[in-house]
Chain A
Amino acid sequence: MRKVVLLGTGSTKYGKLNVTAREAAVLAAKEAIEKVGISNRDVEAVFVSNVFGMTEKQGHLGPIIAHSLGIPYAPTFTVETACASGSTAFREAFVNIAAGFYDCILVVGTEKVSHLDTITATTYFSYGSDFAFEAVNGASFPGLYASIARYHMHKYGTTEEQLAAVAVKNHSNAIHNPKAHFHKKITVEDVLKSRVVASPLKLYDCCPFSDGASAAIIASEEFAKKHIDTLIYVLGTGRASAPAALFNRENMASIISSKLAAEQAFKNSRLTHKDIDFMEVHDCFTIAEVIAIEDMGFCKKGEGAKLAEEGVTEIDGKLPVNPSGGLKAKGHPVGATGVGQINEVYEQLLGEAGKRQVEGATTALTHNVGATGGTCNVLIFRRGD
């Protein structure tokens, strides 16, 4: 297997965009190409992630994006694994580079949902779970995570205040992220008083519906050395599935695919938990950040909820989590999210993250979940010296 390098990234602002998903993808990709300083014609293939394209009356995004980027004959591949689509596209691009099939691939995730009303968007989001056996009985997507939260509260004594602390931290981090959806400081009180969506989750426990696109360029080590000085290696990758239906799992407060993907990524990177300087995890809801940290083995099962409350996961804490603001406050443009996490890793590992910089970070992990855990991808990156 060849060594694979993250050459660079680009991203639109997350939030409400006045362009379509295909346009946002092109803007993010152009920024990445220019930042890295390669030619668009160096890109041999384009891997696209997008989930709700059909709601814009546009499928088959790959060739359209490639055409706009001046590489109309480059092969493309579009992937959908719900909210984990971005990191799935990235990991499969990694496999192609590692295998020696291509030297340079553009990965671009893109999403547009702001043209949908809340009820329609809520319904579309629930298509990522086992719709015929969960949503058909009245579960919304927040409702499924709310059921995970209640189980966690019942089994481990987690409180709504502890969950609120996750939202407060991520909003506070996003203030320093110019591309974040929200730039608004909130308090635990604000979260607790916000409108109940699906109890015990309230509006401020939930990520927003965002538009946005993020791009990443990855290449073989040999190609990378010809174009850039500081190499960020993709050291570990892990992917796994789990039963899409919540009720088919042994522990309803756990996402098994997270555990399996993290084990693989640690194994093939030959790193341990202690090597991770910070991580971007899938916090579509506050409870999701808590169980991500637990399931990947960064603390004992059931003890994740106190970390945000105690400041452990803040930017200057012992284990910084979601310095970007996470899905919660940076935003969650579904197909772009997994690539956006990699954008944060890139800026952090190069020391370009400004006021949200994790001091001295050289090694980072991303964790990206599809729906309630049907898919999970974990990636580990390390800056070379």
Chain B
Amino acid sequence: MKEENLPSIKELEEYVRQGKLMGFKCKKCGHKEVTPFVYCPRCGSSEVEVVELPKTGKVVTYTIQWVAPERFLNEVPYAWCVVELDDGTMVSGWIPFISKPEDLPIGQKVRMVKSYKPGVYFEKVKE
């Protein structure tokens, strides 16, 4: 998908490599997602804009991957997680060096950081 003014998935991945999280926002109802849409999945409006999302949020749920997909074979064990960003937008990402549930309580504060590693890379934030 490459609408005028809307970034392609390739461009979104490039933003991630630069340490930025971009999202799609419905101008009508305010709904935000990281997955591309040209009509809002919540209200159906076609008024869509691209916004930069906050880098911090909290862990909603996660798994500790002991068997990983190809690009992550060398990272095991790590947590793949769902994070609710400070503005309420939901994203997925991963956190290195997590091997047991005590390492990552649900609700843990995290921050997205720029990394040479693949994907959306989060670190735990000390409160």
A residues touching B (Cβ–Cβ < 8 Å)? Answer: 118-119, 122-123, 126, 130, 132-140, 142-144, 146-148, 150-151, 154, 195-201, 243, 245-248, 252
Whether A248 touches B66, Cβ cut-off 8 Å, given contacts A138-B78, A147-B82, is: no
Between-chain CB contacts (< 8 Å), 24 pairs: A118-B67, A119-B70, A126-B69, A135-B69, A137-B92, A137-B93, A138-B71, A138-B94, A138-B118, A139-B65, A139-B92, A140-B65, A140-B67, A140-B80, A143-B63, A143-B80, A147-B82, A151-B61, A196-B66, A198-B80, A199-B63, A243-B35, A248-B33, A252-B60
Whether A138 pairs with B9 at a CB distance below 8 angstroms is: no
Whether A150 pairs with B9 at a CB distance below 8 angstroms is: no
Whether A142 pairs with B67 at a CB distance below 8 angstroms is: yes
Assess whether B72 is interfacial by the CB under 8 Å rule. yes
Whether A154 pairs with B63 at a CB distance below 8 angstroms is: no
Whether A140 pairs with B92 at a CB distance below 8 angstroms is: no
Give Cα A117 to B64, complex, Å.
22
Chain B residues 17 to 75 lying within 8 A of chain A, measured CB to CB, are: 33-35, 41, 60-73, 75
B60 CB contacts on chain A under 8 angstroms:
151, 247, 252
Whether A138 touches B65, Cβ cut-off 8 Å, given contacts A130-B35, A247-B91, A248-B90, is: yes
A139 CB contacts on chain B under 8 angstroms:
63, 65, 69, 80, 92
Give Cα A134 to B63, complex, Å.
12
CB closest chain-A residue, reference B95: A138
CB closest chain-B residue, reference A244: B35
B62 CB contacts on chain A under 8 angstroms:
147, 150
A146 CB contacts on chain B under 8 angstroms:
63
A199 CB contacts on chain B under 8 angstroms:
63-64, 66, 101
Smallest beta-carbon distance A156→chain B, Å: 13
Whether B80 pairs with A147 at a CB distance below 8 angstroms is: yes
Taking a contact as CB atoms closer than 8 A, the residue among B41, B66, B70, B118 that contacts A198 in the complex is B66
Other contacts beyond A122-B67, A196-B64, A248-B41: 17, CB < 8 A: A119-B70, A132-B9, A137-B93, A138-B65, A138-B68, A138-B72, A139-B63, A139-B80, A150-B106, A154-B61, A198-B65, A199-B101, A200-B63, A200-B101, A201-B63, A247-B92, A248-B35
Assess whether B7 is interfacial by the CB under 8 Å rule. no
Residue among B63, B65, B68, B118 with max Cβ neighbours from chain A (10 Å): B63
Interface size on B, residues (CB 8 A): 36
A-side binding surface: helix, strand, loop or mixed? Answer: helix
Give Cα A23 to B65, complex, Å.
36
Smallest beta-carbon distance A201→chain B, Å: 8
CB closest chain-B residue, reference A148: B61
B106 CB contacts on chain A under 8 angstroms:
150, 154
Chain B residues 92 to 127 lying within 8 A of chain A, measured CB to CB, are: 92-94, 101, 106, 118-120
CB closest chain-A residue, reference B79: A138
Give Cα A243 to B41, complex, Å.
9
Give Cα A145 to B94, complex, Å.
16
Give Cα A197 to B76, complex, Å.
11
B119 CB contacts on chain A under 8 angstroms:
136-138
A118 CB contacts on chain B under 8 angstroms:
67
Q: Which 7 A-B pairs have the closest CB atoms?
A: A146-B63, A137-B119, A151-B61, A247-B90, A138-B94, A199-B64, A139-B80
Residue among A118, A136, A201 with max Cβ neighbours from chain B (10 Å): A136
Whether B92 pairs with A252 at a CB distance below 8 angstroms is: no
Give Cα A138 to B83, complex, Å.
14
Taking a contact as CB atoms closer than 8 A, the residue among A138, A140, A142, A248 that contacts B75 in the complex is A138
A252 CB contacts on chain B under 8 angstroms:
60-61, 82
Smallest beta-carbon distance A113→chain B, Å: 16
CB closest chain-A residue, reference B90: A247
Smallest beta-carbon distance A206→chain B, Å: 10
Give Cα A123 to B72, complex, Å.
11
Smallest beta-carbon distance B62→chain A, Å: 6
CB closest chain-B residue, reference A142: B67
A126 CB contacts on chain B under 8 angstroms:
69
